[in-house]
Amino acid sequence: MLHLRLIVPSARTEEAVEVLKGCPGVTNLVVLPGAAREPRGDVILCDAARESANEVLGKLAWLEDEGSIAAEQIDLSLSKVADQAVEEAPGAPDDAVIWEELAQKVSADSRVTWAYLAFLAIATQLAGIGVLQNSPVLIVGAMVLGPEFGAVAAICFGLLRGRWHLVATALRTLVIGFLVAIAITYACALVSYWWEWIDLGNLRRNEEVQFIVKPDRWSIIVALLAGAAGVLSVTAGKSSALVGVFISVTTVPAAGYVAVAAAMSDWKEVAASVAQLGVNILGMVIAGTVTLVVQRKFWPQVGRRSSI
């Protein structure tokens, strides 16, 4: 269930109430006349099943300009009427995609932030150390830490909706993030190489992590599956599933391999790692976009009622 708080101009309160009454899955309706001060108006509170959210938000879209709409997830609801509302709503809660919520999430994830750069740089350095130490454990840790899937999901959503500015912004975030992370890891690896802490032998003895620099048919299959699973986990709010996606694809390990191989001028390995990185990102974008298209077109409870 979602808890909705609406601020409505007094002259249109009854109109908003009738819309809410007419939407299946809406219950616990409360009207507080004159309670809002900025903007001025009446406050309407209600609970809505996730499956009904698109219909409610679509029919009350005018409030974005004339008032306000806020929604939050209800973690615990002990209410018979709420249970009935969920049963009345079409579909299952886990299948429902709230498109406005997704739009705000991917928009936030598409921007370059200091936190994004820091996490990606740390993850890439861990991956580089994992490559040099032939340590799958460090490789997996780096994969979990990487924050790049948010930008990938933003590209998928931008392609679905034709928001080319969002696609360009998210792509810029990916490029800048990986360039910064690779540059930092390269500098650290180069210093280690000068101090003779590492040499080409470290790359030659890493049989257990060679999958990072061997893009093949399985690489694209894994990327496609991970992209589909990643988008499903984002739209369904399943963060535990998203961790599995991070562990599945070798974007961050490939970036770490690029950095350490470049520091030792092993350009053949650099080229293979860049290819692996490109294959993974391309596969995730393709599968993620297709998954969103399927959710919007073929799942009525997540697409047909949406007005966006």
pLDDT (tens digit per residue) in 180-216: 999 999 999 999 989 888 877 767 666 666 677 777 7
pLDDT at 95 over 90: no
pLDDT (tens digit per residue) in 285-300: 999 999 999 988 876 5
Provide the sign of the torsion angle of the four alpha carbons 144, 147, 149, 150, taken in this order: positive
The answer to whether 281 and 245 have CB atoms below 8 angstroms apart is no
Fold classification of 2-96 (topology level): Alpha-Beta Plaits (3.30.70)
Q: Which two tokens stand for residue 230?
A: 């990643």
Q: In this model, does residue 44 exceed pLDDT 90?
A: yes
User: Taking residues 207-232, what's their average pLDDT?
Assistant: 81
For residue 259, give Cα distances in angstroms to 128, 137, 186, 275. 7, 19, 4, 14
Residues 2, 53: contact at Cβ < 8 Å?
Answer: yes
Q: Alpha-carbon distance 58 to 146, whole Å?
A: 35
Task: Identify the helix (H) or strand (E) that includes residue 68.
Answer: strand 68-73
For tokens 């939050």, name the residue: 72
User: Per-residue pLDDT averaged across 79-84, rounded?
Assistant: 84
Tokens of 178: 């990986």
In whole angstroms, how far apart are CA 109 and each of 83, 106, 182?
A: 33, 5, 20
Query: What's the CA gap between 163 and 241, in Å, rounded?
Result: 27
Amino acid of residue 247: I
Highest mean pLDDT of the ranges 91-105, 135-149, 195-209:
135-149
pLDDT given at position 207: 66
The residues, ordered by sequence, that sit 6+ positions from 64 with a Cβ below 8 Å of its Cβ are none
- As a whole number, the mean pLDDT across the chain is 86
**Does a cis peptide bond (omega within 30 degrees of 0) precede residue 39?**
yes
Mean pLDDT lowest for which of 29-38, 77-86, 149-158?
77-86
Contacts 24+ apart (CB under 8 A), 78-84: 79/27, 79/28, 79/47, 81/27, 81/28, 82/1, 82/27, 82/28, 82/47, 84/27
Q: Look at 151 and 78; give whichever has higher pLDDT.
A: 151
Mean pLDDT of 81-98: 77
Could you tell me where the beta strands, DSSP code E, fall in the chain?
Answer: 2-8, 26-37, 40-48, 68-73
Helix axes 114-132, 251-263, angle to 10 degrees: 70
pLDDT tops 70 at residue 304? no
Give the tokens for residue 155. 């590209």
